[in-house]
């Protein structure tokens, strides 16, 4: 029951309602016109959960990747896995977006941008990213406190509360939950 999102709204909703893990991937994709496999999976399935239709997803990824590898290589090497994520290729499994637990336990390597920033960013990068997101300095210290105690989902929940100015008792356990509850708030 996720809301539908179209390409023309995607930058705006990324800013307002993506959790930090997905904002980071989204910004890196816009910046580098490329993401490695782990990032394509994590962001791609999230966007599917957000309600991006297959045709829009293909257009979205193609617009970025063609700037780096060319349209032809995109069609040859990357379009398949996007259709695959939507269950249109291979075993036709309808893949579901990753939970926080899965993302937190992933192991991004050099040049990877997937994973959970609360777990995988350096303290300096995390502080900078949270400030850019609009977390005020008081809340930021509470977030960092949770991170130090390895309570990454609580850190994300505090971020949600700070940005939306409300208390969020449910607690974040899925990036698409973060997204849909944020969208409800802005409606
Ligand atoms: Fe993403 Fe979950 Fe980490 Fe928040 S706690 S940044 S939603 S993986």
Task: Compute the distance between CA of residue 4 and CA of residue 27 in angstroms, rounded to an integer.
Answer: 21
- Crossing angle of helices 123-133 and 20-32, in 10° steps, is 90
Q: How far is the CA of 101 from the centre of ligand 1 (A)?
A: 8
Say if residues 67 and 73 touch (Cβ distance below 8 Å): no
Judge if the beta carbon of residue 97 lies within 6 A of ligand 1: no
- Which protein residue has the closest C-alpha to ligand 1 atom 8? 100
Judge if the beta carbon of residue 116 lies within 6 A of ligand 1: yes
- Which protein residue has the closest C-alpha to ligand 1 atom 4? 156
Ligand 1 pocket, mutate which of 152, 174, 179, 180 (most atoms under 8 A from CB): 152
74-96: string of b/e by CB count within 10 Å (b at 16+)? beeebbebbebbbeeeeeeeeee
How far is residue 26 CA from its own chain's centroid? 7
Q: How far is the CA of 14 from the centre of ligand 1 (A)?
A: 14
Task: Compute the distance between CA of residue 158 and CA of residue 152 in angstroms, rounded to an integer.
Answer: 10
- Which protein residue has the closest C-alpha to ligand 1 atom 5? 153
pLDDT at 3: 58
Say if residues 46 and 52 touch (Cβ distance below 8 Å): no
Judge if the beta carbon of residue 179 lies within 6 A of ligand 1: no
Tokens of 49: 């959960």
Say if residues 168 and 182 touch (Cβ distance below 8 Å): no
Judge if the beta carbon of residue 118 lies within 6 A of ligand 1: yes
Task: Compute the distance between CA of residue 3 and CA of residue 81 in angstroms, rounded to an integer.
Answer: 24
109-157 pLDDT per residue, tens: 999 999 999 999 999 999 999 999 999 999 999 999 999 999 999 999 9
pLDDT at 30: 97
Residue segments in the chain with a per-residue pLDDT below the cut of 50: 1
Task: Compute the distance between CA of residue 140 and CA of residue 124 in angstroms, rounded to an integer.
Answer: 12
Tokens of 102: 């899965």
- Which protein residue has the closest C-alpha to ligand 1 atom 7? 175
Task: Compute the distance between CA of residue 35 and CA of residue 37 in angstroms, rounded to an integer.
Answer: 7
- Which protein residue has the closest C-alpha to ligand 1 atom 1? 21
- Which protein residue has the closest C-alpha to ligand 1 atom 6? 21
Task: Compute the distance between CA of residue 117 and CA of residue 133 in angstroms, rounded to an integer.
Answer: 13
DSSP secondary structure string, 61-77?
HHHHHHHHH-HHHIIII
């Amino acid at each position: 029951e996720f809301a539908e999102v179209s390409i023309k709204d995607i930058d705006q909703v990324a800013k307002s309602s993506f959790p930090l893990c997905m904002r980071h991937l989204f910004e890196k994709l816009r910046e580098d016109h490329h993401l490695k496999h782990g990032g394509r999976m994590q962001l791609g399935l999230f966007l599917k959960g957000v309600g991006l239709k297959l045709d829009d997803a293909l257009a979205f990824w193609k617009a970025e990747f063609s700037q780096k590898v060319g349209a032809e290589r995109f069609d040859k090497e990357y379009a398949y896995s996007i259709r695959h994520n939507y269950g249109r290729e291979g075993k036709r499994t309808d893949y579901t977006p990753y939970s926080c637990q899965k993302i937190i336990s992933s192991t991004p390597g050099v040049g990877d941008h997937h994973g959970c920033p609360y777990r995988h960013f350096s303290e300096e990068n995390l502080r900078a990213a949270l400030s850019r997101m609009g977390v005020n300095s008081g809340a930021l210290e509470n977030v960092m406190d949770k991170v130090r105690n390895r309570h990454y989902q609580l850190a994300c929940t505090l971020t949600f509360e700070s940005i939306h100015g409300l208390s969020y008792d449910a607690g974040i356990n899925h990036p698409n939950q973060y997204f849909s509850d944020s969208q409800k708030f802005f409606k």
